[in-house]
Amino acid sequence: MPEVSRKPGAVLPPADCSPTHIVPPLTNKYLSYDEERAPKVRAMFSRLAWRYDLVNDVMSFGLHRLWKRQAVEIALAGLDRPRVLDLCCGSGDLCFLASGMGAASVIGADFTLPMLAVARRRKLSGEGRCSLTQADALRLPFADGSFDAITISYGLRNVADLPRAVSEMRRVLAPGGRCVVLDFGKPEGTVPGFLYRGFLRTMMPAVGWLFHGDPETYLYIPESLERFPAQRGVERLMREAGFERVRHEDRLLGTMGINVGEALGRTAI
Ligand SMILES: C[S@@+](CC[C@H](N)C(=O)[O-])C[C@H]1O[C@@H](n2cnc3c(N)ncnc32)[C@H](O)[C@@H]1O
């Protein structure tokens, strides 16, 4: 994605795929758009890993469970015993869902060890079968076409190079496979967008302060969303990376987005 000016008061260009709006100053210690991006993201998730699952339930009123289930159902629909990769797997929610939905194998990959440690604990307590591995979404250690289904939930917004992450997903997707991205979305229209950003910028620092004594941990969500192109921009990136039958579905008035892209099967090429 081309970098855009992030100076206070700058106006985001239409490429952002959201209504044009003024960008607030970038002050979050966990967010920068340079070579420090990945270490900062890893530091933040290392800090909040131990309460990550609890906070998700609280701040989404449990709804994240429904959206994640729907994302995995879409990813696996019609595939016979697929090999599944869950990228940016965090504490493993989607891995465990996929393992309960007939996947032949599930690999969860993430670059933050404390998040993987939570996933491992959950796996050992019997939540599901999967392999867990430390890997960077920008340099996947898998051969081309290794997976029939790839999921990534609330992960793509955090990577330092969006087009590269999307083309890595396309590279490791097998012919006939499907990739599903779940993340925060951007509702269409200036007023809903304004209200939504206001809600996130009020609620998230409170959540961060309450659970981690650090408002910036969860204020990171609305701040990282400013430059994330969300459902319509991810759709464009998926097309550019060579995905077929690209589409998106909104959830909760577009505040969440599910993007879907496929790799045509051998017979269809
Ligand atoms: C918000 S959590 C999402 C976890 C899980 N998918 C879920 O939905 O609950 C984002 C995860 O992305 C991981 N992550 C961010 N950038 C990454 C990258 N470049 N490679 C691998 N993992 C990354 C973080 O370590 C973190 O665990």
pLDDT digits (tens, 9 = 90+) for 6-31: 444 343 433 344 444 455 556 788 88
Domain 30-186+229-268: which CATH class? alpha beta
Span of 73-77, 89-93, 169-173, 186-190 with lowest mean pLDDT: 186-190
Cα 42 to ligand 1 centre (Å): 9
Cα 266 to ligand 1 centre (Å): 31
254 lines ligand 1 (CB under 6 A): no
Give the model's pLDDT for residue 6: 40
Q: What is the CA radius of gyration of the chain?
A: 18
Percent of the chain past pLDDT 90, that is, above it, reads: 72
Segment 48-66 shows an average pLDDT of 94
112 lines ligand 1 (CB under 6 A): yes
Q: At what angle do helices 113-124 and 52-60 cross, to 10 degrees?
A: 90
Indicate yes or no: pTM above 0.85: yes
Please tell me which residue, 29 or 45, carries the higher pLDDT value: 45
Segment 39-54 shows an average pLDDT of 94
φ, ψ of residue 242 in degrees (nearest 5): 100, 10
Give the model's pLDDT for residue 191: 86
Cα–Cα distance between 4 and 11 in angstroms, integer? 9
Mutate to test the pocket of ligand 1, among 158, 182, 258 (most ligand atoms within 8 A of CB): 158
**How remote is the C-alpha of 225 from its chain's centroid?**
11
Give the model's pLDDT for residue 2: 37
Sketch the domain layout of the chain as residue ranges: 30-186+229-268
Cα–Cα distance between 89 and 111 in angstroms, integer? 9
224 lines ligand 1 (CB under 6 A): no
Cα 221 to ligand 1 centre (Å): 13
- Is the Cβ–Cβ distance between 30 and 44 less than 8 Å? yes
Residue with tokens 């952002």: 16
Segment 145-168 shows an average pLDDT of 97
- The atom of ligand 1 lying closest to the CA of 68 is 8
Alpha-carbon dihedral of residues 57, 63, 69, 74, nearest 10 degrees? -140
Segment 222-237 shows an average pLDDT of 94
183 lines ligand 1 (CB under 6 A): no
DSSP 8-state class, residue 10: -
Q: Whose CA is nearest to atom 27 of ligand 1?
A: 90
Give the model's pLDDT for residue 24: 56
- Is the Cβ–Cβ distance between 253 and 58 less than 8 Å? no
pLDDT digits (tens, 9 = 90+) for 239-264: 999 999 999 999 999 999 999 999 99
Q: Whose CA is nearest to atom 26 of ligand 1?
A: 90
Q: Is the pLDDT of residue 228 over 80?
A: yes
137 lines ligand 1 (CB under 6 A): yes
